[in-house]
Chains A and B, each alone.
Chain A
Amino acid sequence: MEKYRFLQHTADAKFQAFGFTLEEAFMNAALAVCSLMWDIDKIQKRVNQDVFTMGKDTKQLLVNFLEEILYLFDAKGFILASVKDLKIEQAEGNYRLSACFQGDYFSEKYKVYGGIKAITYNEMKIEKNNQFLVQVVVDV
């Protein structure tokens, strides 16, 4: 199955990510975000980083989740290579997400070729048909 696909957008990057479950679609969305900045296949999986985030709805959850990638990179120099054990639960009117990010800290051996300012709600979609589809525009 195709993991993600980029679409036309005047200024920024717009993509759709797919999955048989919402969790898988979220994971693939994370890979799409990373693909704008570095080549995930070239990043060693030396560091594990646990991630917890919440959202009032699935769209806010998706924004908060993808924003973790930007935060960890800017603040800690962490470069994501893959996402493991992603779980989404619904409790007390909130969505909760936990996952394990695997990757490495930035150093000269890695090439980072692009930056992302923010994950936006613009044209965001989260749909379930035969499979799950999420659509995101990122501000670059």
Chain B
Amino acid sequence: MELKKINENIWEIPRQGSMRVPARIYISSKLLESVKRDMTLQQAKNVACLKGIQKASYVMPDAHQGYGFPIGGVAAFDLDEGIISPGGVGYDINCGVRVIKTNFFAEEIKSNIKSLLDEIFKEVPAGVGKGRAAHLSYSVLEEVCAKGAEWAVENGYGTKDDLEKTEEYGRMRDADPGCLTHRAKERGLPQLGTLGAGNHFLEIQKVSEIYDERTAKAFGIQGKGQILVMIHCGSRGLGHQVASDYIRMMENKFGIKDLPDRELINAQIRSELGQKYYKAMCAAVNFAFANRQMIAHYVREVFKKVMGTNEGMEQVYDVCHNVAKFETHEINGQKRKVCVHRKGATRSFGPGREEIPEVYRSVGQPVIIPGSMGTASYILAGTDRAEELSFGSTAHGAGRLMSRHEALRRFRGEQIKKDLESQGIELKSTSWKGVAEEASQAYKNVDEVVRISHEVGLGKLVVKVVPLGVMKG
């Protein structure tokens, strides 16, 4: 495969065959080696062949092989000619990350980390098969899917300020719960307010590095040692079912001929099925916003109980990294509305964009990039440059390097817990197997991922955090 080096961290696969646009990869030579070993680049080429694609098929620094689109894939489509694809969003619709700041500093809280984790573990069901005791009715579930985090706030989980500091203000207004299948609702019903398993986690972190004082201050970060809470989860079974349902419906309606990959199945944005998928996807996005909103509320309650107060536990931001949205971008000198797919990629809007809350409008949106278990995570700021380079997008995490199977063969959950403890990190999980699968050695180095993002200009480094307590599903 022809791969042209544009500069240190930018590579291009020129247009060839049925590609409508080139593919652009933002990655270092070092990380490129691991990306070359799986199907990432071929998948990026496949995306470049889709109808109505604009400018290029983009690949973020943490990319790895996905389904249809690579994970870490970004593509925007023309509204008339273009398509919308469940494979361009992913199975875990609105998988995302929320960060809440506290007024505590590491010294004051160190001895309480274990009890905080124990209590959070009781309040936030995690792992597989763990639902909340009180089940919702279908009519409430539909309201959740229509209103997202707004529903949660109206029902006492959090504040209006949380909504202000959530991507889409916690609610995609085009959601239509009527476009969800009964199965999707059945799977979602027992799972609202739960963390789930796999790579999802909740961490108590401390700020370890500040790269940009002014922006950090705007984000509510006062100094080194400040305690933050990070929540990483998504739309649970409901979102997974939406993806599977619409892949099937699109296959049955349009057939699979000429598709290089079945998960590239798509519908024209303007078509009835395209619109239905979009509205169902928005409903799943809202479910995930409500989910993180509720979990954040439980965390605040635990802090109040254990620490005596939860004052100052304001939200920094909440980002979704698996989503398709209609946004205005400049293409060939013209501002146009396009459908941007971000699959394992975070929106990174720079200063001035009206989509970001007023309090952040002068510095750019917070871009939250979680690391892997036990490693650092980062908060970046969105940039104008990202809008030129990647439809305002950057990486979403560390990105896997090694299969779960291989990780299980190499690592033991018990040993990982011991190692983390020796670094002063508490770990609580429902499954040793889950811990071994998520070993940080199975991931790319998140430091390298954010460095590339910063150097290319996709997102500007603001704050580095390290974990003190980790809760895994």
Contact residues of A with B, CB < 8 Å? Answer: 6-14, 37, 56, 59-60, 63-64, 67, 70-71, 73-75, 77, 106, 112-115, 117-122, 124, 137, 139-140
Cross-chain contact of B403 among A9, A124, A139 (Cβ < 8 A): A9
Q: B405 and A9: CB pair below 8 A?
A: yes
- Chain B residues within an 8 Å CB radius of A71: 183, 186-187, 241
Q: A115 and B91: CB pair below 8 A?
A: no
* Minimum distance in angstroms from B93 CB to a CB of chain A: 10
Q: Is B127 an interface residue (CB 8 A)?
A: yes
* Minimum distance in angstroms from A117 CB to a CB of chain B: 5
Q: Is B67 an interface residue (CB 8 A)?
A: yes
* Minimum distance in angstroms from A95 CB to a CB of chain B: 13
Q: Is B92 an interface residue (CB 8 A)?
A: yes
Q: A12 and B403: CB pair below 8 A?
A: yes
Q: B183 and A10: CB pair below 8 A?
A: no
Other A-B pairs beyond A6-B405, A106-B129, A122-B66, 17, CB < 8 Å: A8-B405, A9-B403, A10-B37, A14-B403, A56-B252, A74-B191, A75-B186, A75-B187, A77-B190, A115-B127, A115-B198, A119-B244, A120-B91, A121-B67, A121-B263, A137-B67, A139-B67
22 cross-chain CB contacts under 8 A: A8-B405, A10-B38, A10-B64, A10-B400, A11-B71, A13-B403, A60-B248, A70-B240, A71-B241, A74-B191, A75-B186, A112-B129, A113-B432, A114-B128, A114-B198, A115-B473, A117-B198, A120-B67, A121-B247, A122-B261, A139-B92, A139-B240
A-contacting residues, B1-59, CB 8 Å: 37-38
Per-residue 0/1 for B209-252: is the Cβ within 8 Å of any A Cβ (1 yes, 0 no)? 00000000000000000000000000011001101100110011
Cross-chain contact of B262 among A13, A121, A140 (Cβ < 8 A): A121
Q: A11-B65, A64-B248 are in contact. Are A118 and B243 (CB under 8 A)?
A: yes
Q: B196 and A115: CB pair below 8 A?
A: yes
Q: Is B189 an interface residue (CB 8 A)?
A: yes
Residue of B nearest to A119 (CB): B244
**A-B contacts, CB under 8 A, total:** 113
What's the tally of chain B residues with a CB closer than 8 Å to chain A? Answer: 47
Per-residue 0/1 for B430-472: is the Cβ within 8 Å of any A Cβ (1 yes, 0 no)? 0111100100000000000000000000000000000000000
Cross-chain contact of A117 among B92, B251, B263 (Cβ < 8 A): B92
How long is the Cα–Cα vector from A101 to B129 in the complex, in angstroms?
18
How long is the Cα–Cα vector from A51 to B263 in the complex, in angstroms?
25
Q: A8 and B406: CB pair below 8 A?
A: yes
Cross-chain contact of B91 among A13, A64, A73, A139 (Cβ < 8 A): A139
Cross-chain contact of A114 among B183, B248, B431 (Cβ < 8 A): B431
* Minimum distance in angstroms from B320 CB to a CB of chain A: 16
Residue of A nearest to B186 (CB): A75
How long is the Cα–Cα vector from A73 to B237 in the complex, in angstroms?
10
Residue of A nearest to B130 (CB): A112
Q: A8 and B403: CB pair below 8 A?
A: yes
- Chain B residues within an 8 Å CB radius of A37: 128
How long is the Cα–Cα vector from A7 to B434 in the complex, in angstroms?
18
A-contacting residues, B393-422, CB 8 Å: 400-406
* Minimum distance in angstroms from A92 CB to a CB of chain B: 14
Q: B129 and A114: CB pair below 8 A?
A: no
How long is the Cα–Cα vector from A58 to B283 in the complex, in angstroms?
31
How long is the Cα–Cα vector from A64 to B197 in the complex, in angstroms?
22
How long is the Cα–Cα vector from A37 to B284 in the complex, in angstroms?
24
- Chain B residues within an 8 Å CB radius of A7: 405
Cross-chain contact of A118 among B127, B240, B251, B431 (Cβ < 8 A): B240
Q: B191 and A10: CB pair below 8 A?
A: no
- Chain A residues within an 8 Å CB radius of B91: 117-118, 120, 139
- Chain A residues within an 8 Å CB radius of B437: 114
How long is the Cα–Cα vector from A114 to B189 in the complex, in angstroms?
20
Q: B433 and A113: CB pair below 8 A?
A: yes
